[in-house]
Chain A
Amino acid sequence: MRAFTYSRADTVEDAVRALAGNPDARFVAGGTNLLDLMKADAMRPAHLVDISRLPLDRIEETEDGGLRLGALARNADTAWDERVRSRYPMLSKAILAGASAQLRNMATNGGNLLQRTRCYYFYDSGTPCNKREPGSGCGALTGVNRIHAILGASEHCIAVHPSDLCVALAALEATVRVTGPRGERTIPFAEFHRLPGDTPHIDTTLGADEIVTAIDLPARGFAEHSTYLKVRDRASYAFALVSVAAALEIEGGTIRAARLALGGVAHKPWRDTEAEAMLVGKPAEAASFAAAAQAVLRGAKGHAHNAFKIPLAERAIVRALSEAAGVQTP
């Protein structure tokens, strides 16, 4: 690791002030992504501002019947929280599908949102990567790209966002609360992460001088009919090849509302509102799910090693929706 200086922030204002005008300073929360990337020399901050002790580790009720997840609440404490488990079981399942028990004890909710891609070329500072070094090219495009994007990619970057938690947050239509030098604002979850386009070095719409303080969950948690399905190379402690957050509201066998978000397939959690709309009014059965799955993948594009993800994602969507609906998987 390269040398850096370190300070600790005691208040949110302190934290924001410490970043202002310091493009080479970064927050560290759990440290599980940033320190890993610093050891790989893929990120080179000159100063770390430790925010891990800020009083943002609570999980609280909101006025509109939802839950506010503190940015510094640990992934483990969020997943095992009784309110999260009973009202947002899909979210709890998604978090517990990620990383390991030790890492979830360290990882924070804010850090999970801001974690960076696991693309091999992003990690290997000896190879080109437009995300790590804008303008250097994309090693994955013509290299080994088994874990890469099939949706929403660009000629500049085919990396995927690796989070499980974020896929469930996309399906739940969460809101991200942030504070910066100009005060507080909120970002709808769908707008928090971005597609690569020709600026893949920018992962999110969070300002460089802003801090995530909390994630708000709306009241609607789809507790009755929802699931998180993660497909990976081993049964546990592996990133998703494809994952699906599926949530339904069903009345008398007819779908009244649907949410569908995918992980492991794009530069951001991939939500498809058109496919969701197709499901509404349809019977909660395999044929409806298959049609929606096809719609999600209609624009998918495979590369040398990841074309398998297209049929895999299609089948995973059908299976997740079937599980959520409580009907037999075809």
Chain B
Amino acid sequence: MPHPMGFAPPPPEVMAVTLTVNGVETTLQVAPWTSLLDALRLHLDLTGTKKGCDHGQCGACTVLVDGRRINSCLTLAVMQDGRSVTTIEGLASGDTLHPLQKAFVENDAFQCGYCTPGQICSAAGLLAEGKAKTDDDIRELMSGNLCRCGAYPNIVKAIRQVMGEGGA
């Protein structure tokens, strides 16, 4: 059968990708279709980042790439070659929680906790962007993170608390 592309490049089963994940440089061998999310969870065993929908519709997979929040389910690991990724596992310094982690605990900003890693990484991105001024801004700019337990009011409180402390 002729190759559907009209030419037949030898398909590389795996490709080398170098990522700096939570400060540690790692080179992985991944198939081109491996999402960044699957690379983190399945190849690096960093299961803090959650898979909710796998279609960009819930925000559970939110991580920071070069400091910006993105949905790790809708990008390929190979597309992020050479970049720095921060996951929920990389936010605390040793035993000292990140201010957002502390604020989420203090404000009871979760119930089951499934959305929480994505919420916290997203909130870290939001603080870095510096666009949110009011609670309504926080709600709008956090709308990419769904919480099926409905912890929204306390999530807003936690983020506002950290904003009030002058960011993270």
Contacts and interface: CB of A to CB of B under 8 A. Distances in A.
A binds B: yes
B33 A105 contact: no
B160 interface: no
Contacts of B12: 5
Interface string B135-168: 0000111111100000000000000000000000
A46 B8 CA distance: 11
Contacts of B145: 100
Contacts of B142: 101
A220 interface: no
Contacts of A23: 5-6
A104 to B, nearest CB: 9
Interface stretch (A30-38, A151-159, A261-269): A30-38
Interface residues of B, number: 38
A105 B75 contact: no
A196 to B, nearest CB: 25
Contacts of A80: 131
B144 A6 contact: no
Nearest to B140: A236
Contacts of A5: 9, 11-12, 32
Interface stretch (B21-29, B66-74, B96-104, B107-115): B66-74
Given A6-B32, A36-B55, A50-B79, A102 B71 contact: yes
Nearest to A40: B55
B56 A32 contact: yes
A38 B71 CA distance: 16
Given A22-B5, A31-B79, A35-B35, A102 B55 contact: no
A3 B79 contact: no
Given A24-B4, A35-B74, A52-B79, A102 B69 contact: yes
Given A5-B12, A46-B4, A52-B79, A101 B55 contact: no
Contacts of B59: 100, 102
Given A101-B125, A101-B129, A102-B125, A32 B74 contact: yes
Interface string B57-69: 0010010000011
A105 B32 contact: no
Contact of A46 (B5, B129, B143, B144): B5
Given A5-B12, A48-B32, A101-B129, A36 B5 contact: no
B75 A106 contact: yes
B4 to A, nearest CB: 5
A40 B35 CA distance: 14
Interface string B64-95: 00001111001110110000000000000000
B10 to A, nearest CB: 9
A244 to B, nearest CB: 20
B6 A39 contact: no
A102 B145 CA distance: 9
Contacts of A2: 33
B15 interface: yes
B5 A47 contact: yes
B75 A237 contact: no
Contacts of A102: 59, 62, 69-71, 122, 125, 144
B44 to A, nearest CB: 20
Contacts of B140: 236
A108 to B, nearest CB: 12
B27 to A, nearest CB: 17
B152 to A, nearest CB: 12
A106 B35 CA distance: 14
Interface of B: 4-7, 9, 11-12, 15, 31-33, 35, 54-56, 59, 62, 68-71, 74-76, 78-79, 122, 125-126, 129, 131, 139-145
Interface of A: 1-6, 21-25, 28, 30-32, 35-36, 38-40, 46-48, 50, 52, 80, 99-103, 105-106, 235-237
Across the A-B interface, give the 8 residue pairs with the lowest CB-CB distance, nearest first: A100-B144, A236-B143, A6-B32, A237-B143, A1-B33, A102-B144, A32-B74, A105-B68
28 contacts: A1-B33, A4-B33, A6-B32, A21-B6, A22-B7, A23-B5, A24-B4, A25-B5, A28-B79, A31-B74, A32-B56, A35-B35, A35-B75, A36-B55, A36-B56, A48-B76, A52-B79, A100-B143, A101-B143, A101-B144, A103-B56, A103-B71, A105-B68, A105-B70, A106-B74, A236-B139, A236-B143, A237-B143
Given A3-B11, A22-B6, A101-B143, 6 more contacts: A3-B33, A23-B6, A31-B74, A103-B71, A236-B140, A237-B144
